[in-house]
Protein backbone atom coordinates (compact mmCIF):
# COMPACT_ATOMS: atom_id res chain seq x y z
CA UNK A 1 0.00 0.00 0.00
CA UNK A 2 1.49 3.34 -1.06
CA UNK A 3 0.15 5.03 2.07
CA UNK A 4 2.30 2.73 4.22
CA UNK A 5 5.42 3.86 2.36
CA UNK A 6 4.59 7.54 2.75
CA UNK A 7 3.74 7.21 6.45
CA UNK A 8 7.02 5.39 7.11
CA UNK A 9 8.93 8.53 6.12
CA UNK A 10 10.26 10.86 8.86
CA UNK A 11 7.53 13.25 10.07
CA UNK A 12 9.66 15.67 12.10
CA UNK A 13 8.56 19.21 11.29
CA UNK A 14 5.46 18.02 9.43
CA UNK A 15 2.10 19.46 10.47
CA UNK A 16 0.68 16.77 12.83
CA UNK A 17 -2.77 17.22 11.31
CA UNK A 18 -1.39 16.07 7.96
CA UNK A 19 0.10 12.99 9.61
CA UNK A 20 -3.24 12.29 11.30
CA UNK A 21 -5.03 12.54 7.96
CA UNK A 22 -2.45 10.25 6.38
CA UNK A 23 -3.08 7.53 8.97
CA UNK A 24 -6.80 8.13 8.59
CA UNK A 25 -6.59 7.49 4.84
CA UNK A 26 -4.48 4.36 5.34
CA UNK A 27 -6.91 3.08 7.96
CA UNK A 28 -9.83 3.60 5.61
CA UNK A 29 -8.14 1.71 2.79
CA UNK A 30 -7.33 -1.16 5.15
CA UNK A 31 -10.92 -1.23 6.41
CA UNK A 32 -12.42 -1.71 2.96
CA UNK A 33 -9.84 -4.36 2.12
CA UNK A 34 -10.81 -6.26 5.28
CA UNK A 35 -7.35 -5.82 6.86
CA UNK A 36 -8.55 -4.96 10.36
CA UNK A 37 -5.15 -5.28 12.03
CA UNK A 38 -3.78 -2.53 9.77
CA UNK A 39 -7.01 -0.58 10.23
CA UNK A 40 -6.64 -0.65 14.03
CA UNK A 41 -2.98 0.33 13.80
CA UNK A 42 -3.50 3.36 11.55
CA UNK A 43 -6.66 4.60 13.21
CA UNK A 44 -5.01 4.12 16.61
CA UNK A 45 -1.98 6.17 15.59
CA UNK A 46 -4.24 8.87 14.15
CA UNK A 47 -6.22 9.03 17.40
CA UNK A 48 -3.12 9.13 19.57
CA UNK A 49 -1.72 12.04 17.60
CA UNK A 50 -5.09 13.83 17.38
CA UNK A 51 -5.26 13.95 21.19
CA UNK A 52 -2.06 16.04 21.22
CA UNK A 53 -3.32 18.74 18.83
CA UNK A 54 -6.01 20.34 21.00
CA UNK A 55 -8.36 20.23 17.99
CA UNK A 56 -11.69 18.89 19.35
CA UNK A 57 -13.22 18.33 15.94
CA UNK A 58 -10.19 16.38 14.78
CA UNK A 59 -10.28 14.32 17.97
CA UNK A 60 -13.95 13.46 17.49
CA UNK A 61 -13.33 12.46 13.86
CA UNK A 62 -10.53 10.11 14.86
CA UNK A 63 -12.54 8.60 17.72
CA UNK A 64 -15.29 7.83 15.23
CA UNK A 65 -12.81 6.27 12.81
CA UNK A 66 -11.13 4.31 15.59
CA UNK A 67 -14.45 2.78 16.62
CA UNK A 68 -14.70 1.12 13.19
CA UNK A 69 -11.77 -1.18 13.78
CA UNK A 70 -13.31 -3.23 16.59
CA UNK A 71 -16.47 -4.67 15.05
CA UNK A 72 -15.52 -7.78 13.13
CA UNK A 73 -12.11 -9.43 13.45
CA UNK A 74 -11.34 -10.19 17.14
CA UNK A 75 -14.19 -7.86 18.12
CA UNK A 76 -13.94 -5.63 21.18
CA UNK A 77 -17.41 -4.09 21.12
CA UNK A 78 -17.01 -2.19 24.37
CA UNK A 79 -13.87 -0.45 23.16
CA UNK A 80 -15.50 0.47 19.86
CA UNK A 81 -18.64 1.65 21.64
CA UNK A 82 -16.67 3.78 24.11
CA UNK A 83 -14.81 5.51 21.28
CA UNK A 84 -18.04 6.24 19.41
CA UNK A 85 -19.72 7.53 22.59
CA UNK A 86 -16.81 9.89 23.26
CA UNK A 87 -17.12 11.15 19.70
CA UNK A 88 -20.87 11.70 20.18
CA UNK A 89 -20.23 13.80 23.30
CA UNK A 90 -17.69 16.01 21.50
CA UNK A 91 -19.86 16.48 18.42
CA UNK A 92 -22.79 17.48 20.65
CA UNK A 93 -20.51 19.92 22.48
CA UNK A 94 -19.46 21.44 19.15
CA UNK A 95 -22.97 21.45 17.68
CA UNK A 96 -21.64 19.41 14.76
CA UNK A 97 -24.68 17.55 13.42
CA UNK A 98 -22.82 15.97 10.51
CA UNK A 99 -20.24 14.49 12.85
CA UNK A 100 -22.98 13.46 15.27
CA UNK A 101 -24.74 11.60 12.47
CA UNK A 102 -21.58 9.62 11.77
CA UNK A 103 -20.95 8.79 15.41
CA UNK A 104 -24.53 7.66 16.04
CA UNK A 105 -24.18 5.40 13.01
CA UNK A 106 -20.94 4.11 14.54
CA UNK A 107 -22.74 3.30 17.81
CA UNK A 108 -25.32 1.44 15.77
CA UNK A 109 -22.51 -0.71 14.37
CA UNK A 110 -21.33 -1.70 17.84
CA UNK A 111 -24.85 -2.96 18.58
CA UNK A 112 -25.36 -4.52 15.15
CA UNK A 113 -22.28 -6.71 15.24
CA UNK A 114 -23.14 -7.97 18.71
CA UNK A 115 -26.60 -8.80 17.31
CA UNK A 116 -28.52 -6.34 19.47
CA UNK A 117 -30.89 -5.51 16.62
CA UNK A 118 -33.30 -3.36 18.63
CA UNK A 119 -30.57 -0.97 19.76
CA UNK A 120 -28.83 -0.95 16.40
CA UNK A 121 -32.12 -0.07 14.68
CA UNK A 122 -32.70 2.76 17.15
CA UNK A 123 -29.21 4.23 16.59
CA UNK A 124 -29.40 3.93 12.82
CA UNK A 125 -32.88 5.47 12.88
CA UNK A 126 -31.58 8.49 14.81
CA UNK A 127 -28.65 8.79 12.41
CA UNK A 128 -31.04 8.63 9.44
CA UNK A 129 -33.18 11.49 10.79
CA UNK A 130 -30.10 13.67 11.28
CA UNK A 131 -28.65 12.74 7.89
CA UNK A 132 -31.86 13.71 6.15
CA UNK A 133 -32.05 16.99 8.07
CA UNK A 134 -28.49 17.96 7.14
CA UNK A 135 -28.84 16.75 3.52
CA UNK A 136 -26.00 14.28 4.04
CA UNK A 137 -26.87 11.93 1.19
CA UNK A 138 -23.91 9.65 1.79
CA UNK A 139 -24.94 8.91 5.37
CA UNK A 140 -28.62 8.68 4.41
CA UNK A 141 -27.64 5.80 2.11
CA UNK A 142 -25.52 4.05 4.72
CA UNK A 143 -28.06 4.51 7.49
CA UNK A 144 -30.74 3.01 5.23
CA UNK A 145 -28.47 0.04 4.46
CA UNK A 146 -27.80 -0.77 8.12
CA UNK A 147 -31.30 0.09 9.33
CA UNK A 148 -32.80 -2.16 6.67
CA UNK A 149 -30.54 -5.00 7.72
CA UNK A 150 -31.34 -4.48 11.41
CA UNK A 151 -35.12 -4.53 10.98
CA UNK A 152 -34.84 -7.60 8.74
CA UNK A 153 -33.33 -9.37 11.72
CA UNK A 154 -36.27 -8.15 13.84
CA UNK A 155 -38.78 -9.64 11.41
CA UNK A 156 -40.04 -6.19 10.35
CA UNK A 157 -40.08 -7.14 6.70
CA UNK A 158 -42.23 -4.32 5.29
CA UNK A 159 -39.95 -1.72 6.88
CA UNK A 160 -36.89 -3.64 5.75
CA UNK A 161 -38.07 -3.71 2.14
CA UNK A 162 -38.77 0.04 2.23
CA UNK A 163 -35.40 0.98 3.75
CA UNK A 164 -33.40 -1.39 1.56
CA UNK A 165 -35.19 -0.30 -1.60
CA UNK A 166 -34.56 3.39 -0.94
CA UNK A 167 -30.93 2.75 0.02
CA UNK A 168 -30.26 0.52 -2.97
CA UNK A 169 -31.74 2.96 -5.47
CA UNK A 170 -29.79 5.85 -3.94
CA UNK A 171 -26.50 3.92 -4.03
CA UNK A 172 -27.11 3.05 -7.67
CA UNK A 173 -27.65 6.73 -8.50
CA UNK A 174 -24.49 7.64 -6.58
CA UNK A 175 -22.41 4.91 -8.26
CA UNK A 176 -21.60 3.48 -4.80
CA UNK A 177 -20.47 0.06 -6.06
CA UNK A 178 -18.64 -1.00 -2.89
CA UNK A 179 -21.73 -0.19 -0.84
CA UNK A 180 -23.86 -2.17 -3.26
CA UNK A 181 -21.90 -5.33 -2.41
CA UNK A 182 -23.07 -4.99 1.20
CA UNK A 183 -26.61 -4.02 0.20
CA UNK A 184 -26.92 -7.08 -2.01
CA UNK A 185 -25.99 -9.15 1.04
CA UNK A 186 -28.76 -7.33 2.95
CA UNK A 187 -31.16 -8.52 0.26
CA UNK A 188 -29.80 -12.06 0.56
CA UNK A 189 -30.86 -12.06 4.21
CA UNK A 190 -34.21 -10.46 3.42
CA UNK A 191 -35.04 -12.95 0.66
CA UNK A 192 -33.95 -15.87 2.80
CA UNK A 193 -36.06 -14.92 5.80
CA UNK A 194 -39.20 -14.28 3.75
CA UNK A 195 -38.78 -17.75 2.21
CA UNK A 196 -37.64 -16.71 -1.29
CA UNK A 197 -34.64 -19.02 -1.32
CA UNK A 198 -33.97 -19.07 -5.05
CA UNK A 199 -33.75 -15.29 -5.09
CA UNK A 200 -31.49 -15.35 -2.00
CA UNK A 201 -29.05 -17.75 -3.64
CA UNK A 202 -28.92 -15.84 -6.92
CA UNK A 203 -28.29 -12.60 -5.05
CA UNK A 204 -25.58 -14.29 -3.02
CA UNK A 205 -23.81 -15.28 -6.24
CA UNK A 206 -24.20 -11.76 -7.63
CA UNK A 207 -22.82 -10.21 -4.45
CA UNK A 208 -19.74 -12.43 -4.45
CA UNK A 209 -19.01 -11.53 -8.09
CA UNK A 210 -19.29 -7.81 -7.36
CA UNK A 211 -17.19 -8.27 -4.22
CA UNK A 212 -14.41 -9.81 -6.30
CA UNK A 213 -14.65 -7.06 -8.91
CA UNK A 214 -14.43 -4.25 -6.33
CA UNK A 215 -12.01 -5.90 -3.84
CA UNK A 216 -14.52 -5.18 -1.07
CA UNK A 217 -12.93 -7.46 1.53
CA UNK A 218 -15.19 -5.95 4.19
CA UNK A 219 -18.08 -7.96 2.80
CA UNK A 220 -16.20 -11.19 3.43
CA UNK A 221 -15.61 -10.29 7.07
CA UNK A 222 -19.26 -9.33 7.47
CA UNK A 223 -20.28 -12.72 6.14
CA UNK A 224 -17.87 -14.51 8.46
CA UNK A 225 -19.04 -12.51 11.48
CA UNK A 226 -22.80 -12.60 10.94
CA UNK A 227 -23.31 -15.67 8.78
CA UNK A 228 -21.30 -18.32 10.54
CA UNK A 229 -21.46 -21.89 9.32
CA UNK A 230 -23.63 -21.39 6.29
CA UNK A 231 -27.34 -22.06 6.09
CA UNK A 232 -29.59 -24.94 5.08
CA UNK A 233 -32.10 -24.00 2.38
CA UNK A 234 -35.05 -26.41 2.65
CA UNK A 235 -35.87 -28.00 -0.67
CA UNK A 236 -32.66 -26.80 -2.34
CA UNK A 237 -30.07 -29.54 -2.90
CA UNK A 238 -26.34 -28.86 -3.30
CA UNK A 239 -26.49 -29.09 -7.11
CA UNK A 240 -29.37 -26.62 -7.28
CA UNK A 241 -27.67 -24.31 -4.85
CA UNK A 242 -24.49 -24.22 -6.93
CA UNK A 243 -26.52 -23.65 -10.10
CA UNK A 244 -28.50 -20.77 -8.59
CA UNK A 245 -25.39 -19.08 -7.24
CA UNK A 246 -23.73 -19.42 -10.66
CA UNK A 247 -26.81 -17.90 -12.31
CA UNK A 248 -26.58 -15.00 -9.90
CA UNK A 249 -22.90 -14.51 -10.59
CA UNK A 250 -23.68 -14.29 -14.31
CA UNK A 251 -26.11 -11.39 -13.83
CA UNK A 252 -25.12 -7.86 -14.74
CA UNK A 253 -25.20 -5.36 -11.89
CA UNK A 254 -28.42 -3.85 -13.25
CA UNK A 255 -30.01 -7.29 -13.41
CA UNK A 256 -28.92 -8.10 -9.86
CA UNK A 257 -30.35 -4.83 -8.56
CA UNK A 258 -33.63 -5.46 -10.37
CA UNK A 259 -33.79 -8.94 -8.85
CA UNK A 260 -33.27 -7.51 -5.37
CA UNK A 261 -35.82 -4.71 -5.73
CA UNK A 262 -38.48 -7.12 -7.04
CA UNK A 263 -38.34 -9.20 -3.84
CA UNK A 264 -41.84 -9.69 -2.41
CA UNK A 265 -43.12 -7.53 0.44
CA UNK A 266 -44.49 -9.85 3.09
CA UNK A 267 -46.19 -9.39 6.47
CA UNK A 268 -43.95 -9.00 9.50
CA UNK A 269 -42.98 -12.22 11.24
CA UNK A 270 -41.10 -13.46 14.30
CA UNK A 271 -37.43 -12.39 14.48
CA UNK A 272 -35.02 -14.90 12.93
CA UNK A 273 -32.94 -16.88 15.44
CA UNK A 274 -29.51 -15.48 16.40
CA UNK A 275 -26.64 -16.17 13.96
CA UNK A 276 -29.11 -17.37 11.36
CA UNK A 277 -28.21 -15.27 8.33
CA UNK A 278 -27.75 -17.41 5.22
CA UNK A 279 -24.26 -16.47 4.04
CA UNK A 280 -21.89 -18.83 2.31
CA UNK A 281 -22.54 -22.54 1.86
CA UNK A 282 -21.43 -24.64 4.79
CA UNK A 283 -18.16 -26.44 4.19
Count other C-beta atoms under 10 Å from residue 232's C-beta. Answer: 11
Average pLDDT estimate for 21-25: 91
Which tens digits make up the pLDDT trace of 58-86?
999 999 999 877 766 667 788 889 999 99
Which tens digits make up the pLDDT trace of 138-148?
999 999 999 99
pLDDT score, position 201: 92
Band of the pLDDT at 212, cuts 50, 70, 90? confident
* Bigger pLDDT: 39 vs 233: 39
Count other C-beta atoms under 10 Å from residue 110's C-beta. Answer: 27
Which tens digits make up the pLDDT trace of 96-138?
999 999 999 999 999 998 889 999 999 999 999 999 999 999 9
Q: Mean pLDDT in the chain?
A: 85
Question: What is the third-level CATH fold of 13-135?
Answer: 1.25.40
Task: Please give the share of the chain, as a percent, with pLDDT higher than 70.
Answer: 83
Listed range (70-74, 77-81, 191-195, 218-222) with the worst mean pLDDT = 218-222
Widest pairwise Cα distance in the chain: 66
What's this model's pTM, rounded to 2 decimal places? 0.82
Please, where are the H alpha helices in the chain? 2-7, 16-33, 36-50, 56-67, 77-94, 97-112, 117-133, 137-153, 157-174, 177-193, 197-214, 217-226, 238-249, 253-261
Q: Does residue 260 contact residue 168 with C-beta atoms inside 8 Å?
A: yes
User: Structural domain boundaries of the chain?
Assistant: 13-135, 143-283
* Bigger pLDDT: 29 vs 123: 123
Amino acid sequence: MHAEVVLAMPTSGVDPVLVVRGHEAAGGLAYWRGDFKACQRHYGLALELARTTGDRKLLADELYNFSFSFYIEDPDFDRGHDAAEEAVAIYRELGDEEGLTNALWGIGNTYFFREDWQRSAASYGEALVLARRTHNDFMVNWALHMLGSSVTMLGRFADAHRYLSEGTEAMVRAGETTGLVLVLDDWVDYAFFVGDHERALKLYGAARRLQAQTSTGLAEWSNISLRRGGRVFPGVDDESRSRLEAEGAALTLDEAIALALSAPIVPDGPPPPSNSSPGAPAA
